[in-house]
Structure 1
């Protein structure tokens, strides 16, 4: 029990420290010049995403700062013919891919190979999910940052919808992660964590790194590890926003979290020993810290474990003070990490959704074996 308390104390302290760090923002001035010399390739992998991909493409193309030399590429994996035709009428470059077992990494690599054969070249890739929408100003801000020398940039992904209690809970969860693993880390000089979309990266660098990746799920985590292994910094732009559809029900939530947890634990096992070696031998704090993140329990599981332990500690009168303090510290961390606009959305229905979400997370843990074998798709727009 003592070992478990120590582990949970570390996990809570980690969340609380970076939640506090997110409140002391490090402002970094970026000159708004030379952005006309930067051209972006907006790459959107779309696996069975007919319901949302058209509106996403329209959103990117309609941005007032979308450049004359910018390009939108949709990677069509099992899209309907009529969807492809409509995309082509929008002057979107469509690259069709066919795989027996689809993964995002395979799709991206196939598309990058096709673009290379066509002789196409851009300064940077902006990787988006099929449901993502840009908020006005995203392109200007990220081009300015890229022109200033930041070659790997994670932007701020926020909720596109808050239409169900689960969507609100998912939005809060993502913003906590943004505060703890991105803004908090950025403010203390560490690399921000990648999300899998809203990534802006030097074109050639992106091509080289992705060419080495072939995983069923968690390609963004492998990309992070490879970048940090090379001691490159991942910048974070808090004021460049990408709208992302939040899950609306527990079934989709469970599928999504199964994929995420499987990837996290897999990378933790593969890289735990290497992380210590990198820290001691090469002073690679970013790589070590990234693997430590993988070892930490997911925030919802941490919350559930501490709540259950608090009940047990009351019933059996052991470690009550320690467990109570851990619960309080965790809630303080969560509250600090949650933006005010979402705190205002918290109501009884969200608290009622917590047990369902916790049950889904628990079930996801027992299904991670499936996620290792095949990509678990979470549909959007339905």
Structure 2
């Protein structure tokens, strides 16, 4: 089994953090500096870094039996989805029937400012609490099981090994193959990173990385642990173009290793290279919760994608790190799950399938119609 390059890089990560901490001690700031290390924050970041290395082994084991076409429990999961969706729809129908009936024949209402008005629908009757809870719970079940089904099926069908077996191309293992893999991964990463800020489903996974109000090398280790539950542009497309799966994984590692060093305030600029490569300055903007910095600078190794697709923003005003609404916790479990829980809460309270789907796939700030 080939060892992941990111695992081999761990001593370098640790050594770099020690060096950054030493630099901070030699160059104390006059006021509070977001780049300084804070014990609880750093511990949370390290915990999530370790968790991101362990999570794939756990999720692969747990989700394999639920994968459509191959998993032994896949049909049961799909049956649960159908049953939950039917129960939710029945609850929606009851709600609509209780709120769209007409007043009895001949009934009129009077307004305070004029004559009697024409017959209108009777006021919406509140759904009984028990039925409302059943409808909400079944909606959450239907959406959650759909997420698992869609993500596992997508992952299985777009895996690099599967697509490489279907491809008539093979770029070999030389420098050109590695160059194609690294450049291709970087472009796909830009697309997925941007989507992670524009779709709440993907944001629920990615928000982990933005949860810290600090910005130092340990922040880079705050990686997602729920990537298996998302649908995104597949990196397996590189194998369909002839890049061998092992090289695709190496490209992933190179991409992650590069991203580590840009999470620092110790490096202010890399000069003319800022026009081509992602840098600490550009990535500080990406982590900013300032209005002008939101959803900017999605690149990984190269910043040219942001310049090309007009999502680039230079560093200007002082960056305020964290989320637009911070969660004020160092608990790794809460950091990893808070947005999933928020989505479930919104789905539970929604009244239509359109709103439920929108709370999942539309932007993180989408509010929707009034909820129960």
Q: Which has the larger radius of gyration?
A: 2
TM-score, with length taken from structure 1: 0.21
